[in-house]
Amino acid sequence: MRLKLAVFDVDGTLVDSRQVIHRAMTRAFERAGLGEIAYDRVRTIVGLELTEAVLRLAPADYPAERIPELATYYKQAFVEQRAETGFSEPLYEGAKDTVERLADEGWLLGVATGKARRGLDIVFDHHGLHRYFQTFQTVDHGPGKPHPRMVLDAMAETGAAPAETVVIGDTSFDMEMARAAKTRALGVAWGFHTPDEIEAGGAHEIHHDYDGLNAALDAFADGLEGDAA
C-alpha cells in the first residue's frame, strides 16, 4: 500500500498570521530606528529563516553586524504581542477540518515552516494540532526555505517517497522547496504571496480555498492508489 504524505507550511497556509507578522516587523524596525515598514514588503519574505528575512528587508546601508539585533527585536515584538489583550493567530477556515480528515483517511502529515520549533509549538498547542502530525520540520536544525532540507527530512522520518509526497504552501519559497525535493507542489492563494508569485515558484496547481485544495489532495491520493493497483 502506498504512503501518502502531506507537508504543510504554517504561516499563510494553516494560520492567518498576516497582521501579527506585519505588526511585529514594524515594531522591530521602529525599535531599530528604521521607521514603519509596509505590509507589501513584509509579505514577500514570510517563510524564510528570520535572519535571512530581515536581511532582505533592511536598507542596503544597514550595518551587517546589526542584522542579528534586528532579528531579536522581531522575536521580542512577537512575544510582546502574544501577551496583549486581543492577540489572535486564527486558523484559516477549513484548515483544521482538512487536517482531521486527512489524518482519519490514513495520510501522514508534516510541517515545514520558517518558524522556530518553540513558536510552532505555541501555535499548535493553542489550536490542538500536534496529535495529527508525524513530522515537524523547522529552521532549528538546518537550512530553511527554499532549500529542500525540511521536505527531505520529513520524507526520511516518515518513509515516504517523493512520488508519495505533496507540499502545500502559500509562497514561492514553498514551491521551490517542493520542486527541489521532487515532490508535488500545491500552492494556496489566501496567504502572503500572489498567485503569480506562487506560479513563478513552480506550483503544479494553485487553489483559492480549502475545498479546492481538498479535491486536489483526493486526486493525488487516487493517483497513488491507481499506481499501486
The predicted pLDDT at position 137 comes to 98
Cβ count near 62 (within 10 Å)? 16
**pTM over the 0.75 mark:** yes
**Polymer length of the chain:** 229
pLDDT in tens, 53-112: 999 999 999 999 999 999 999 999 999 998 998 888 999 999 999 999 999 999 999 999
What pLDDT digit, counting tens, does each position of 170-229 carry? Answer: 999 999 999 999 999 999 999 999 999 999 999 999 999 999 999 999 999 999 977 655
Q: Looking at the chain, list the stretches that DSSP marks H as alpha helix, in order from N- to C-terminal side.
A: 18-31, 39-42, 50-57, 67-82, 95-104, 117-127, 149-158, 172-180, 195-200, 210-228
Q: pLDDT confidence of 121, banded at 50, 70, 90?
A: very high
- 139: buried, middle or exposed (CB in 10 Å: 19+, 13-18, 0-12)? buried
Rounded CA separation 179/36 (Å): 35
pLDDT value at residue 225: 79
The cell for 4 is: 501518502
∠ CA 160-164-166, rounded to 5°: 105
> In the prediction, which pLDDT does 228 show?
59
Q: What is the mean pLDDT of residues 160-176?
A: 98
Domains of the chain listed by start with CATH number: 5-16+90-227 (3.40.50.1000), 18-83 (1.10.150)
The rounded distance, in Å, linking the Cα atoms of 110 and 102 is: 11
